[in-house]
Each structure stands twice: as structure tokens, then as C-alpha cells.
Structure 1
Amino acid sequence: AKPLVGKHRFRQSVPVGPWTGVYNATRAPSMCIQQVIPLMMPKHPFGVTGSEDCLYLNVFTPKLPSQHADGKLLDVIVYIHGGAFQFGASNIFSGPLILL
């Protein structure tokens, strides 16, 4: 879906349009807007960080589907980071390392 910001805020989601070529998903998205905890980010100048464009899902697999020829389904782990709905983001952890 398109980011739920601007005219899309508080509205039904809108499908994202097609793109050509390879989609680069190697850069972590922005974390949601939150107040900076001084002990965690002491050099941040304004006390608030993040973006409204922050609703993304990270997916990690041990193998590509083409490498998984036996037809068995893979296990699924859903991890929601802590932070009391006040701070934190998925990109403060290394996804594959969390699975070890």
C-alpha cells in the first residue's frame, strides 16, 4: 500500500502502483515518530525523530523458495519489539541475528 501520510492519512489504504526493475529493499525504513530517549540517542538535537511513513514489515527467510525443493512449509516467527508503544523500531535489531 502507499504510505498512509498526507491526503491518505486516516483513509483506506491505496495499492501501490507497479514498478519496473528490481525493488531495492536493502535500506531500513524510517522508525515511527517518537520522542528521543536521551540515554539512547544523546546527540539528537530536537528530542523527536522518525516519520509517519513507517508502517513496514520485515521478512527474513533461511532459504529462497527455489532452494526449498521438498515442498514442506517453513516455520514462521512473528516478533514485535518492545518499547511500551513509546520508543524503538525494527531496525534497532539485526533481523537474522534475532532468529539465532
Structure 2
Amino acid sequence: IDEPSDVEAYARNRTALTDALAEYGYTYVEPDGAFYLWVKALEPDANAFCERAKKYELLAVPSDSFGMPGWFRLGYCVSYETIVNSLPAWKQLADEYRQK
């Protein structure tokens, strides 16, 4: 309890994820200390969006049950490699919505 936490790894993950998501056209809320992002789904139905994300092996949690319909939670307390490896899939998902 008395040991300080090294949150630098989470900051690195957050930066990699938010920079890429912004580039791909996603809107998110910059966190103040949590290890997840609130991200606006690319369609009004966050549940449908999160189901579609599974096609790309992405796991996002619809935020309707948290009182935020149309948004989803995306954790980044995973390895940096997991974040980096997920980025092409987030881009493909955004591209799919742009083609609609």
C-alpha cells in the first residue's frame, strides 16, 4: 500500500490508443486517472457497434448500463503490444463505417 505505483506504462498505452483513435475519427473523453476510455460509438446503438467490433476481435463494453448510451468503455490496462496490435483493427472498423 505504501509503495508508489508506476503508471508510466498506462500513460504510454493511453497515448498510443488515443492518438490512433483520434486519427481514425473516433471521439473519446480524456481520462483523469482511470485505465479505460469512454469512446463514442460510430453509430447511435453502442450495443450494435460493440457486436460489430467483435468481428475484428475487438472487445468493447457498451456504456448504456453506465448511463452513457451511444458510448463504450475501452480498457487500456493491457500490454503495450496488445494496444499496438489492436490499432489496425480499430482503423478497419472505422473504415467500414465510413463506407456505409
TM-score > 0.5, shorter chain as reference: no
Structure number with the higher helix fraction is 2
Structure number with the higher strand fraction is 2
Q: TM-score under structure 2 normalisation?
A: 0.25
Q: TM-score under structure 1 normalisation?
A: 0.25
The structure whose RCO (Cα within 8 Å, separation 6+) is larger is: 2
Structure whose CA Rg is larger: 1
